[in-house]
Amino acid sequence: MTKWVYNFGDGSAEGEASMKNLLGGKGANLAEMSNLGLPVPPGFTITTEVCTSYYDNDNTYPADLADQVAASIKVIEETVGAKFGDEENPLLVSVRSGARVSMPGMMDTVLNLGLNDVTVKALAKQSGDERFAYDSYRRFIQMYSDVVLGVDHYLFEELLEIHKEENGFTLDTELEAEDWKELSAAFKAKAEDELGRPFPQDVNEQLWGAIDAVFGSWMIERAFVYRRLHNIPHTWGTAVNVQSMVFGNMGDDCATGVAFTRDPSTGENTYYGEYLINAQGEDVVAGIRTPQNLTKASRIAAGSDMPSMEESMPEVYGQLADVFQKLEAHYRDMQDIEFTVQKQKLWILQTRSGKRTAPAALKIAVEMVHDDIISKDEALLRVDPGALDQLLHPTLDPDAARDVLTKGLPASPGAASGKVVFTADEAEILSKNGEDVILVRIETSPEDIHGMHAARGILTSRGGMTSHAAVVARGMGRPCVSGAGSLHINMAEQTITVDGRVINNHDIITIDGGNGEVMAGKVATIKPELGGHFGELMAWADDKRELKVRTNAETPLDASAAREFGAEGIGLCRTEHMFFDATRIINVRQMIMSSDEEGRRAALDKLLPDQRSDFVELFTIMKGLPVTVRLLDPPLHEFLPHKEEDFVDVANAMGVDMAFLKRRAEELHEFNPMLGHRGCRLGISFPEIYEMQARAIIEAALEVSKTLGEAVIPEIMVPLVGSAKELEILKELIIKTADEIIEASGEKLEYMVGTMIELPRAALQAGEIANHAEFFSFGTNDLTQTTYGISRDDSARFLDDYLKADIYDQDPFVSLDQDGVGELVKIGVERGRNTRNDLKVGICGEHGGDPASVEFCHRNGLDYVSCSPYRVPIARLAAAQAVLRK
Ligand code: PEP
Ligand code: MG
């Protein structure tokens, strides 16, 4: 016979903490606390297997469940000396849901279950407090009707308000027993009205109604969405906890509260919490009365004159503090605890590892190592790498008011306020005058880079998590909200309309790239503090990890920032970003517009010194660490002039007429540029471009090797290769160029030539390609785009539908699709290394900074990951966790 129900309480339990999968988090911890001898009201847990079975069998329960529940009710009855539904001495219970992990969205709690027209009288008699009994009854009718029967709680509150108004009451505490009696009758009538049948008086019907509601709530939309957002499988199911009631609202020697064993927002090692005298649990959360501080110190700090629990109930507070110590020592983690005091007796209703902010997680983990509570390895696993972002960027002051206009994608973390501007040029002009601006675009393009750099933050109405705006903003460490689709941006009129509100040019807005919110006006921010704990945890991570962590950077600013965050080299320098500088773009345009090699070479000669000096700067900052420079990648038309005056400038510089230029621009137009004339195809068509870039790299490496007195070993990378022959041809060109320069210099210089793997064909042909490549770098942005056949720039529009329909469980541009794209990565690594066993392999798509993808890279033997500077610490910690989880 399967055991579906587990008892707990009274100093022992049938379950324990390790049985979370079966009993849910709440049930397992109630069992564990019972085993520890803590005062836990007796009860039982119906397992998550019942939930799974319920859904597998057309919403029906296992045949023997009812008997097991009845037997467990008996156990509670014997323990507390009361009987469920008894006329004299009734047992009342609470019913709560409890999945493996705490999961908002599901049915939460029903209290006081077991009350009816008869038992309420017994409760009044027993407690000697009729007011308490009928207050409890009306609460039960309201709560049960709301969460189990689906009658809106507002309807009951309305009745209460009317009653108070008619009788001249303002506070609930002014109501007498008679009032609550009258109201509970009115509540019952209201429920009957709404339901078309009487409010259930049978206590067993009440109990099974509540159990049904918990299991039913596992599949409601809210819970479904929550699971999707947090990657919780739908197959886990929830448990149900039925527990005898204890009352915090039986008089002034009663109380209820919530506490943390440390401060969950700062991580400070002090008790933190709130309580209310003469109240039931939901009063603390619902905000009907303002809760009081738990400790005297926090009361004084808050400037409150309402006594703390430490002062008003010193003895019970002392017991509670003992429980805090016991639970934290036992679980070896900060605990979030719910308690009730019934007539000076303390009861513990729940404990769990407390949710905490990123700074608190860091502080608690490191301090627990210092105090010998946990090991360094455990500490590394206690901090969510993704949350480290929060520590590196300014964030919004949590206490500041927010006027939220809309929400887009949290494309690049950090918060920023500034004047709305609609063009990159204006962003640059205003910021030069010392003003903070937010650059607002429908979407950005490489032409906007100078404006993105000048802006405090970037907001777009189109584009996904790997759209140009998102990638570039993350690289620069600029906060960015992308794909905020409900914003209507009118570039001509320079307005944003959202929900009928209009934001004009130069109005101030605030964006939070951490959660995607866009707000009107300025919201105060707080600066990051990179104190000692951060450095300490990072050092432990570095000791543990096997993957190297590099950065994607092309500006000295980004490269230096990345070094500070611990980058061990550059894994991707996108050279095209260097082409957009205002003084260079004219030469770039001249190169593109030339219709022959001679014209292109003339323009490239002008670009050479600038490219060389860029590389000199990067090599100098990286001081001998590896630097991978990628040759030109994007389709040429991205550099084309748009405005009339730009055309005029180019025409003048080239000495050609406008008609010729316009025709040339049209010739370069492509219907599908992402799959068009880009990447190494440019090198095949116009070898002189790659030749110039190879020259710039080698000359810079020679120069810096000399000045540093240390060898710089550049890695020259060819993008978007699909067949071995492409690389063979281009490698020959690169080697010829490089060797001539090196020979002429009379110096020695090592360099490497490798390729990106960004196309499915490249992964499949990796064995042949590796004949010509000394390293591979997986460009998983393009590899995802080309494997799925979905555009990285346009997918935001429909991705949400796919996520909602559970077709994708996450955005494949954010976290590597390990089953599909990941298979290609595995094949690429395996075939590449079969040909060349010392092949160096890395990843430089956005996934290089995503913790789950980093773990994948570790498992599959990559040598390094490369990510934007602000993600370097995330990757360092994720790489350490990957080792610990293996
Ligand atoms: C990639 O495709 O993953 C990549 C790193 O290159 P880019 O994002 O510049 O196309
Ligand atoms: Mg690419």
pLDDT, one tens digit per residue, over 471-515 is: 788 767 789 998 898 999 999 999 999 999 999 999 999 999 888
The whole-number pLDDT of residue 530 equals 66
Mean pLDDT of 454-460: 94
| Homologous superfamily (CATH) for 255-353 | ATP-grasp fold, B domain (3.30.470.20)
Report, as residue numbers or ranges, the catalytic residues: 468, 844
Nearest C-alpha neighbor of 848 from the set 886, 819, 814: 814
Confidence of residue 531 (pLDDT cuts 50, 70, 90): low
Between CA 27 and CA 21 the distance in angstroms is 10
Q: Ligand 1: which of 467, 471, 572 to mutate, most ligand atoms within 8 Å of CB? A: 572
Confidence of residue 652 (pLDDT cuts 50, 70, 90): confident
Q: Whose CA is nearest to atom 3 of ligand 1?
A: 779
The whole-number pLDDT of residue 559 equals 95
The yes-or-no verdict on residue 793 having pLDDT over 60 is yes
The whole-number pLDDT of residue 106 equals 75
The yes-or-no verdict on residue 654 having pLDDT over 90 is no
- Dump pLDDT digits (tens) for 588-640: 999 998 889 999 999 999 999 999 999 999 999 999 999 999 999 999 888 88
**CA 333 / ligand 2 centre spacing (Å):** 43
**CA 722 / ligand 2 centre spacing (Å):** 12
Structure tokens that stand for 711 in this block:
């060898």
* Phi and psi, residue 189, nearest 5°: -65, -40
Confidence of residue 874 (pLDDT cuts 50, 70, 90): very high
CATH: 3.40.50.300, 2.40.50.140, 3.30.1490.20, 3.40.50.1580. Which one for 5-244? 3.30.1490.20
Q: Find the farthest-apart pair of alpha carbons in the chain and give their distance in angstroms, rounded.
A: 105
Specify the fold of 545-885: TIM Barrel (3.20.20)
Q: Whose CA is nearest to atom 4 of ligand 1?
A: 779
The whole-number pLDDT of residue 849 equals 96
844 Cα nearest atom in ligand 1: 5
> Sign of the CA dihedral 770, 773, 779, 783?
negative
Which ligand is the nearest neighbour of the Cα of 575?
1
Structure tokens that stand for 734 in this block:
């690169």
Strands lying side by side in the sheet with 488-490:
488-490, 495-498, 501-504
- Dump pLDDT digits (tens) for 116-168: 999 999 999 988 999 999 999 999 999 999 999 999 888 999 999 999 999 99
Between CA 844 and CA 865 the distance in angstroms is 6
Confidence of residue 467 (pLDDT cuts 50, 70, 90): confident
What radius of gyration do the chain's Cα atoms show?
Answer: 33
Please report, for the chain, the start and end positions of each structural domain, with discontinuous segments joined by +: 5-244, 255-353, 393-526, 545-885
Q: Decide: 331 and 249 in contact? Cβ < 8 Å.
A: no
Type of residue numbered 813? F
Helix (H), strand (E), coil (C) string for 184-237: HHHHHHHHHHHHCCCCCCCHHHHHHHHHHHHHHHCCCHHHHHHHHHCCCCCCCC
What H or E segment, with its residue span, contains residue 256? strand 255-260
Q: Decide: 846 and 471 in contact? Cβ < 8 Å.
A: yes
Q: Decide: 234 and 224 in contact? Cβ < 8 Å.
A: yes
393-526 maps to which CATH number? Answer: 3.50.30.10
CB-ligand 1 contact for 574 (6 Å cutoff): yes
Q: What is the pTM of this model?
A: 0.80
The 10 Å Cβ neighbour count of residue 216 is 15
**CA 699 / ligand 2 centre spacing (Å):** 26
Structure tokens that stand for 270 in this block:
């002090």
Mean pLDDT of 18-45: 96
Percent of the chain with pLDDT over 90: 72
Q: Decide: 351 and 321 in contact? Cβ < 8 Å.
A: no
Structure tokens that stand for 805 in this block:
């329909």
Spell out which residues have Cβ within 5 A of ligand 2, the ion.
758, 779, 782
Mean pLDDT of 259-274: 89
DSSP 383: S
The 10 Å Cβ neighbour count of residue 506 is 15
Strands lying side by side in the sheet with 292-293:
292-293, 272-277, 255-260, 335-342, 345-353
**CA 807 / ligand 1 centre spacing (Å):** 25
780 Cα nearest atom in ligand 1: 3
Q: 3-state DSSP helix/strand/coil percent for the chain, to nearest 5?
A: 50, 20, 35
The whole-number pLDDT of residue 386 equals 87
